Amino acid sequence: MSNRDVAFEYLDRFCDCDINAIESILDPDFTLDGPLFQFNSRAEYIAGLRADPPEPAEIQLVDVCEGENTVSVYYLYKKSAGTVTVAQLFRFQDGRIVGTLLVFDSAGLF
């Protein structure tokens, strides 16, 4: 699977609330930086998802940019509370997601 495929797999599984599938594509040293949360390991992130699972959502793709070890996805994240425009940078190592940076206006979620 290409890095782009893995990034889309992550987004699909996140929208489906499939935490086990998310865990399987993350590196143990996974980090997440975003406006609402910061996680410093896959275990910490997965524990956070299990404690407060995402609700089902849909994504409408806006654009995708790819680098050697990165994929940036710009999308509309649609859930029951409304729609938020998101930019998400995925960093890869050995075919797994090792980090992600989320950029969005968190005021749009409340």
**Amino acid letter at 38?**
Q
Residue of 54, 23, 53 lying closest to 41 (CA atoms): 23
With helix as H, strand as E and coil as C, how does the chain read? Answer: CCHHHHHHHHHHHHHCCCHHHHHHCEEEEEEEECCCCEECCHHHHHHHHHHCCCCCCEEEEEEEEECCCEEEEEEEEEECCEEEEEEEEEEEECCEEEEEEEECCHHHHC
- On whether the CB atoms of residues 89 and 72 are closer than 8 A, the answer is yes
Annotation: CATH topology of 3-109: Nuclear Transport Factor 2; Chain: A, (3.10.450)
pLDDT higher than threshold 60 for residue 110: no
Using 50, 70 and 90 to split pLDDT, how confident is the model at 23? very high
Q: What is the pLDDT of residue 109?
A: 58
Read off the pLDDT of residues 51-100 as tens digits, 9 standing for 90 and up.
999 999 999 999 999 999 999 999 999 988 889 999 999 999 999 999 99
Q: Model's pTM, two decimal places?
A: 0.93
